[in-house]
Amino acid sequence: LEKAAECRPHLILLDMMMPVMDGAQTCRAIRENPVLKDTMVVFLSALGEEEQQLTGFGVGADDYLTKPFGTDELLARVRTAIRHNNKLSDDSQNANRPYAADGLTIDFERRLVTLHGKEIHLTRVEYKIVSLLAKNSGKVMTYDTLIDQVWGPYADDNNRILRVNMANIRRKIEENPGEPKYIFTELGVGYRMLEDGN
| H/E segment holding residue 131 | helix 124-135
Question: Burial letters for 80-118: b for 16+ Cβ neighbours within 10 Å, e otherwise?
Answer: bbeebbeebeeeeeebeebbebeebbbbbeebebbbeee
Per-range mean pLDDT, top range of 59-73, 133-147, 161-175: 161-175
pLDDT at 145 over 80: yes
pLDDT value, residue 89: 58
Give the C-alpha separation, 171 to 114, whole Å: 14
Higher pLDDT, 45 or 103: 103
Give me the percent of the chain exceeding a pLDDT of 90: 30
Give the C-alpha separation, 67 to 70, whole Å: 9
Contact between residue 92 and residue 59 where contact means Cβ atoms under 8 Å apart: no
Higher pLDDT, 49 or 152: 152
pLDDT value, residue 88: 58
pLDDT at 102 over 80: yes
pLDDT at 158 over 80: no
The overall average pLDDT reported for the chain is 84
pLDDT value, residue 38: 78
pLDDT at 32 over 60: yes
Give the C-alpha separation, 150 to 91, whole Å: 14
Q: What is the β-pairing status of strands 63-66 and 40-45?
A: parallel
